[in-house]
Chains A and B, each alone.
Chain A
């Protein structure tokens, strides 16, 4: 093979690396990018207000994915020439060690057309569920022991869990059935 394959950096060989105490965090897409990827020809993405009663009804329909208060998915209606082509819903799920913000695209009939991860953050249990608009302030707390390290592009030896996304998608489909379905 013409190109080198791999080189282990081991303590003693080269400079011993300090152990990283860093959380893995990756921003994949913005909400605008996810909108465009899912609905290339939509001209507007109108925010849809979903009231608490509708959220509660949607949650009640999927009891085994129960989630505390604070569920605050952001819903956008993708429109072209005034007609709704479908919806893009941005939500986040929090697992034991990770928080995932993702976007689910549904067509006008409510069928899933796309699922994109917008952001993946390791939390090691240190994060609580917050509405997206408040999250911008999180992580700026002085003395936060966990540093988000931009150098960590690749990790191995860690199973990046996505289990909770499946439950999240079920909740969003229920939300569509309770609050968005037009017919």
Chain B
């Protein structure tokens, strides 16, 4: 027995599919409900758009006084900063200022203008769990929170005894259960075509494509990247999500990071494809 549901969350369509043979339908529906609730929680905490989110509070207040946040926000921010450090800033959660400049994100209300030279090194995680910014800056966890939400949803389903499921948040997806199933990666130059197919077992894949105007920022040069399409496979979706952005920015420099996280990447350029990381 299979049940599949979708809701608009995290700025995309979040799709949850479970196989629940041996589990009664009411419990299966409750599991899906709990998984969506968890995704909605991540959305509420980490949305750049919502004034009451932890992210918006950091952007408004952290340069003036430390801000207390939910442990989940702290976990995602810590991971974002770890990826920023490991990638020498190729992944940087403080690029929101550029995204706002290009009108890809709305200007946060009542937040001090970010310092021109602010970057991830100006975000401090205090021992008491609060967040402080050394100078005014705008963080956006959009490049990583979606993958994190997918991981949390899978964990909620597992807590209900679901063993076979797939959660897909607009192309960031994680699967658990026996067997392998195809995931179609779209061709960035012809969106209605499948460029490559991945057989996914237990693990995650995240992709970035320029298709549909999805924007990526080169965090070093602070310019948009658009030519390349990258898919990363990793155990956790949050890791796949973050690594996707780093590979987008610089595939060669990202290769050691893929190894460190036991991940692999498929890079589609206009003139061909290349596999990087553990499968290469």
A contact residues vs B (CB 8 Å cutoff): 1, 3-10, 17, 19-23, 26, 28-29, 37, 97, 100, 102, 115-117, 120, 122, 124, 146, 151-163, 165-166
Cα-based distance from A102 to B7 in the complex (angstroms)? 9
A19 touches B195 (CB 8 A): yes
B186 touches A156 (CB 8 A): yes
With A3-B201, A162-B12 as contacts: A115 and B6 at CB distance below 8 Å: no
- Chain B CB within 10 Å — which of A4, A158, A162 has the most? A158
- Interface CB pairs A-B, < 8 A, 17: A3-B202, A6-B198, A6-B200, A6-B233, A8-B198, A10-B273, A17-B194, A19-B195, A29-B5, A116-B6, A153-B181, A154-B181, A154-B182, A155-B184, A158-B170, A160-B13, A160-B15
Apart from A117-B7, A158-B170: 11 A-B pairs, beta carbons within 8 A: A1-B203, A3-B201, A3-B202, A5-B202, A6-B233, A19-B187, A116-B7, A153-B181, A156-B185, A158-B212, A161-B212
- Chain A CB within 10 Å — which of B13, B175, B195, B275 has the most? B13
Name the contact of B184 in the complex, choosing from A28, A154, A159 (C-beta under 8 A): A154
- For the A-B complex, the count of residue pairs with Cβ-Cβ distances under 8 Å equals 164
Please, which residue of chain B has its CB at the minimum distance from the CB of A6?
B233
Cα-based distance from A67 to B169 in the complex (angstroms)? 27
Interface: B1 (CB within 8 A):
no
B6 touches A159 (CB 8 A): no
A1 touches B202 (CB 8 A): yes
Please, which residue of chain A has its CB at the minimum distance from the CB of B9?
A162
Main secondary structure of the interface of B (DSSP, over half): strand
Please, which residue of chain B has its CB at the minimum distance from the CB of A161?
B212
Residues of A within 8 A of B266 (CB): 8
Please, which residue of chain A has its CB at the minimum distance from the CB of B10?
A162
Cα-based distance from A166 to B7 in the complex (angstroms)? 12
Q: How large is the interface on B (under 10, 10 to 19, 20 to 34, 35 or more residues)?
A: 35 or more
Q: Which of B223-264 contact A (CB under 8 A)?
A: 229, 231, 233, 235, 264
Cα-based distance from A155 to B193 in the complex (angstroms)? 11
Cα-based distance from A120 to B171 in the complex (angstroms)? 14
Interface: B85 (CB within 8 A):
no
B185 touches A157 (CB 8 A): yes
One digit per residue, 1 when the CB lies within 8 angstroms of any chain A CB and 0 when it does not, for chain B 1-23 equals 00011111001110101000000
Cα-based distance from A156 to B5 in the complex (angstroms)? 17
A152 to chain B, nearest CB (A): 6
Residues of A within 8 A of B222 (CB): none
B279 touches A8 (CB 8 A): yes
A137 to chain B, nearest CB (A): 23
Cα-based distance from A28 to B12 in the complex (angstroms)? 16
With A1-B202, A9-B196, A23-B192 as contacts: A158 and B186 at CB distance below 8 Å: yes
Please, which residue of chain A has its CB at the minimum distance from the CB of B29?
A37
Name the contact of B206 in the complex, choosing from A21, A97, A153, A156 (C-beta under 8 A): A156
Please, which residue of chain A has its CB at the minimum distance from the CB of B175?
A154
Residues of B within 8 A of A152 (CB): 184, 194
One digit per residue, 1 when the CB lies within 8 angstroms of any chain A CB and 0 when it does not, for chain B 193-222 equals 111111111110111110110100000000
Q: Which of B129-188 contact A (CB under 8 A)?
A: 166, 168, 170-173, 175, 178, 180-188
Cα-based distance from A157 to B266 in the complex (angstroms)? 11
With A19-B187, A156-B186 as contacts: A4 and B180 at CB distance below 8 Å: yes
- Chain A CB within 10 Å — which of B5, B192, B266 has the most? B192
A21 touches B186 (CB 8 A): no
Please, which residue of chain B has its CB at the minimum distance from the CB of A126?
B192
Cα-based distance from A162 to B168 in the complex (angstroms)? 14
Cα-based distance from A165 to B11 in the complex (angstroms)? 10
Residues of A within 8 A of B235 (CB): 1, 5
- Chain A CB within 10 Å — which of B29, B175, B186, B214 has the most? B186
Interface: B191 (CB within 8 A):
yes
B156 to chain A, nearest CB (A): 18
Name the contact of A153 in the complex, choosing from B8, B182, B199, B233 (C-beta under 8 A): B182
Cα-based distance from A8 to B206 in the complex (angstroms)? 14
Residues of A within 8 A of B168 (CB): 154-156
Name the contact of A124 in the complex, choosing from B191, B214, B275 (C-beta under 8 A): B191
